[in-house]
Structure 1
Amino acid sequence: MSDRLLDVCERLLARVGTQAEAEVTVTAGTDALTRFATSFIHQNVTDAVRRVRLRVALDGRVAESAGNQDDDEALSRLVGSALDAARLRPVDPGWPGLAPPSPALSIDHWNEATAHAEPQERARRIGAFVRAADGLETAGFCSTTGETVAFANSAGSRLTGRTSVANLDGIARTATSDGSGRASSVRLADLDGSVVGAEATRRARESAEAGDLGPGRYEVVLEPACVVNVLSFLANYGFNGRAVEEGRSFARIGEPQFDASFSLADDFGHPMAVGIGFDAEGTPKRRVDLVRGGVTSGLIHDRRTAKALGAESTGNAVAGAGPWGALPANLVVEPGSRSRGELIAAVARGILVTDFWYTRILDPRTQVVTGLTRNGVWLIEDGRVVRPVTNMRFTQSFIEALGADQVRGIGSDLTLVGGATFGYGAYVVPSLHLASWNFTGGARG
């Protein structure tokens, strides 16, 4: 597969020739999804993926074109449209040039069985999820993806990579509550539908007949899905080189902006990570320490922001993400030693939260974000979960929430969570016990 895709790259570069600088990315694979609602499978779809992307730079005028065919006629049209568009563009003063040849990490986040999983294999996991719900209504999906990517440019770079990922995500529902369960892995075989379904069912039953709780500042235990939401905002609005260049970021390299127990990296090499080892510009990925012992220590860059800020690309360019800049794909929080139960036991009076949603940023530089809870919220008193709570709205600075002396515990429950909010890729995170979270009212207004 890799050789065939590289051949398409070579054919495109040959058509561009010496007319312009050029880079090509060719992706092939399968995206498959099986969905269920009212505890029955109602949809199964499979998409045979083929994407061809060409970017050219003609005397500093940059343009790109894309398609899903790789015959000679289609490739010639792709080259023609890219060159025609480039001739109409103004000179781009920030164009950093093409990535030089450089080898990618020899890490293969790939599983053959997952990449070519049959619908019956996804259906078996959904069936186990539904049976674990023990009569509660369920809904959700199971997806499998396998993709091979080839990259080449006229500067001599030639790279290939492949990745697979499986996701099982669903809810169980009582008359008055919902509970969620989810799991992700490079290997579909790692996803146990009965375990995920039992988790969703437990949350649904334990959050039934919830009562209101007054607004105010509470200690919180945030489960992994909440933590992913928080990190998405920190990374994309803060540790983002474009945001720093434009003065929109909170990040100040070398300053202790977080609790001393908190460390965060973008780490493609982590054993739980997914993805391929190079970015959309052909720059190999590498570990980037964003926070080390509470000190802001790094930023995410593509070649454009690296040039503007006198840095090096970190291998985080994303095709089509020009207005946003580079995006992290493999955020990893350094885990602690406490179990979920131990985190809860350390709370005097606080709230346990399963999920956030409808989160929207109010101020990028202070990271004040507002949003809602869902899929299970409970009051904790004297280290015990005492009752379910109706969904609440929060308005909270994420920087303050993770600031000095605010992180009271970090879980050992590292979890791969895909589909990061406003993010890209999948993050590996634990639960967190935080000293203060500002809940401003109920979800009903």
Structure 2
Amino acid sequence: MSAELRVAARVVELVRELAGSSAEAEVMVRHDAEALTRFANSSIHQNVASATTGVRLRLHAEGRTTGGSTTVVDADGLRALVERTLAAARVSPVDAAWPGLAPPAGLHPSSPEVGSFDEMTARADPALRAARVRDFVDAAGGLETAGYCRTVYVSAAFANTAGQAVEGRSAEAAMDGIARLDGADGVARLAASRLSAIDGAQLGARAAAKARAAGTPAELPPGHYEVVLEPDAVKDLLENLATFGFNGKSWAQRQSFAELGKQQFDPSVTIVDEPLGSRGEPAAGLPFDDEGTPRRSLVLVRDGVTRAVTHDRTSAAQAGAESTGHASPYSRSWGPQAGNLRLEAAGLPSSSTGGTGSVAESARPMVARVARGLLITDLWYTRVLDPKSLVVTGLTRNGVWLIEDGEIVSAVGNLRFTQSYPQALGPGRVLGIGAESVLLPESWGRARYAAPALHLAGWNITGNASG
């Protein structure tokens, strides 16, 4: 039994002692260790690391629900947590939507065993991350560079008063860097479950090649353009689909585009949430969610047909379904969200960086089929205008090029777009999917997305972003 599971079990005992046998409680104990090496002006300027053990308690007593947390895990700290959470529950409103506790259940058979993660990544020191930064900077060939390399280690356990008790560990690494030349930026990113899979030289060479190819950009008028989206841009589609489209709370409230059983996407589109990893890539997260529900692979779209949305226990109760293992500390408020989406590639998925050239290797055949259109590296500052149809506005970033007769003819200045993501992926709109996926880190959190390049029939460009 891990130290985290012993703490969780002790909190459950305290709840029974102080609140009685009728109270329901769930306890999540997490030890998070994150380290970051950041660089700018082609030099490391910051090494930071944090390690925290936190305890979260959710308590349901006399029809009322409340939660509390602490980082004080000694006997007095745990007792104080239960006492103040119980006091808060007594003055909280009645919770008519309380879905009950997750019943006892073992982890999914494909879940990684406790400890089956990369120790080097979990214990990586600054020198290991700095070596990858040095390789990135050297490979950029004198261009100004900036970015980060990070490692994350999590050890956690869950227990509740219904008898559920599970534990697990995970490790993750990521690198994100840019190279700049005369105001033109190129980017390269990669996520992995092993730091050894992060090749700083390959990423630096790719970022530099894109920066060199993005000089002297032309401006284009607004219009409806055929596009090839590289994996970094496709990641934004997956992130917004997970947050707003496949969100079980939004779906139950009819604020999502998702219609189960309907052909909403091109037949070439299959989207799967894979929290346990796949095809030799270990999981980046835990094999259970914050309600103790075991996680598993979930097919959201198969051959263009929407098959499922993600649920925690609350949204599942509202929808008359079962939890899919997507509870989080904020899922009752913001809805349950997938954090490991994979858009299935046309070939065998991999965690490739996409090569070292200015165009992702799997995107080259798509570029050759475009009569006139755009090659887009990255999307950023995206904001949802209409959640129901998932119309998103945002900007391009880190490289855009004009394609004519299958050839890249010039760099293009950054552009603003306004586009429904489901519509862009709709029947007949996906003209090609890359042969490989690139595993990419989320911008602000620890989710990751496996994204291939995409060739789409149309993308609404609504303006320029000069300056």
- Normalising by structure 1, what TM-score? 0.97
1:232 lines up with 2:232 in the alignment: no
Distance in 1, Cα, partners of 2:315 & 2:404: 47
1:76 corresponds to 2:75:
no
C-alpha RMSD of matched pairs (Å): 1.5
- Kept after mapping to 1: 8 A contact 2:242/2:339: no
Structure 1 residue runs without a partner (length 5+): none
Determine if contact 2:12/2:27 at 8 Å carries over to the other structure: yes
Q: Residue 246 of structure 1 is aligned with which of 249, 253, 272? A: 253
Q: Does 1:434 align with 2:456?
A: yes
Answer whether contact 2:300 2:308 (CA < 8 A) is retained: yes
> Offset of 1:302 from its aligned partner?
0.4
Provide the secondary structure at the position in 1 that maps to 2:188. strand
Alpha-carbon distance change, 397 to 424 in structure 1, aligned in 2, over 3 angstroms: farther
Structure 1 position 444, deviation (Å): 3.3
88, 94, 97: which one pairs with 1:94?
97
Match of 1:375 in 2: 398
| 2:181 alignment partner in structure 1 | 174
Partner of 1:56: 59
Contact 1:219 1:350 in 2 (8 A): yes
* CA shift for structure 1 position 321: 3.1
1:98-157 deviations in whole A, cap 9, x for unaligned? 100111123257211000001000000000000111111111001001111101001001
Match for 1:212: what amino acid?
E
CA contact (8 A) 2:312 2:331 kept: no
CA contact (8 A) 1:229 1:420 kept: no
Aligned to 1:5: 4
- Deviation string 1:56-86 (CA, Å, 9 cap, x unpaired) is 1112211111111210111111111211111
Letter in 2 for 1:231: L
Structure 1 residue 420 displacement after superposition: 5.3
Of residues 361, 381, 405, the one that matches 2:384 is 361
Q: Give the Cα separation in 2 of the matches to 1:203 and 1:91.
A: 57
Instruction: Tell me the residue number matched to 2:262.
Output: 255
Partners of 1:226 and 1:83 in 2: CA distance: 46
Match of 2:328 in 1: 318
Native 8 Å contact 2:246 2:337 kept in 1: no
1:404 aligns with 2:427: yes
Overall identity of the aligned pairs, in %: 48
Q: Which residue of the partner structure matches residue 339 of structure 1? A: 362
Measured at CA, do residues 204 and 359 of structure 1 come closer, stay the same or move farther in structure 2, by a change above 3 Å?
A: same
Question: Residue 438 of structure 2 corresponds to which residue in structure 1?
Answer: 415
Match of 2:209 in 1: 202
Paired residue secondary structure (2:35): strand
Shift of 1:268: 2.0
Where does the alignment leave 5 or more consecutive residues of structure 2 unmatched? 348-360
CA shift digits 1:33-63 (9 cap, x unpaired): 0101101111101101211111111122111
Task: State the Cα deviation string for residues 197-239 of structure 1 (Å, max 9, x = none).
Answer: 0011011110011111111111111111211111222222121
CA distance, structure 2, for counterparts of residue 123 and residue 386 of structure 1: 37
Shift of 1:432: 0.6
C-alpha distance in 1 between matches for 2:61 and 2:389: 40
**Number of residue pairs the alignment of both structures matches:** 443
Partner of 1:128: 135
Q: Which amino acid aligns with 2:187?
A: S
Give the match's secondary structure for 1:322.
helix
AA aligned to 1:51 is G
Cα gap change, 1:317 to 1:424, in 2 (>3 Å): farther
| Residue in structure 1 matching 2:48, options 19, 33, 45 | 45
Structure 2 SS opposite 1:103: coil
User: In 2, distance between residues paired with 1:82 and 1:28?
Assistant: 21
Q: Give SS of 2:87's match.
A: helix
1:408 to partner: Cα distance = 0.3
1:193 to 197, 200, 214: 200
Report how far residue 350 of structure 1 moved: 1.0
Structure 1 Cα separation of the partners of residues 383 and 362 of structure 2? 30
Inter-partner Cα distance in structure 2 for 1:360 and 1:354: 18
Distance 1:123 1:235 in 2: 33
- Tell me, in whole angstroms, the C-alpha distance in 2 between the residues paired with 1:97 and 1:325: 17
1-structure distance, mates of 2:346, 2:257: 25
Which residue of 122, 129, 144 corresponds with 1:137? 144
Task: State whether residues 55 and 65 of structure 1, in contact with CA within 8 Å, keep that contact through their aligned partners in structure 2.
Answer: yes
Alpha-carbon separation, structure 1, partners of 2:333 and 2:32: 28
3-state DSSP class of the match of 2:328? coil
Q: What's the TM-score, normalizing by structure 2?
A: 0.92
Q: Does the residue aligned with 1:73 lie in a helix, a strand or coil?
A: helix
Amino acid at match of 2:271: L
Which deviates further from its counterpart, 242-251 or 116-125?
242-251
- The aligned counterpart of 2:163 is 156
Which secondary structure state, in structure 1, belongs to the residue aligned with residue 137 of structure 2? helix
3-state SS of 2:333 partner: coil
Q: Which of 393, 410, 413 is the matching residue for 1:387? A: 410
**Distance in 2, Cα, partners of 1:351 & 1:406:** 15
> Matched residue of 2:131: which SS?
helix
Give the whole-Å Cα distance in 1 for the aligned partners of 2:134 and 2:186: 17
Q: 1:219 aligns with which of 201, 204, 226?
A: 226
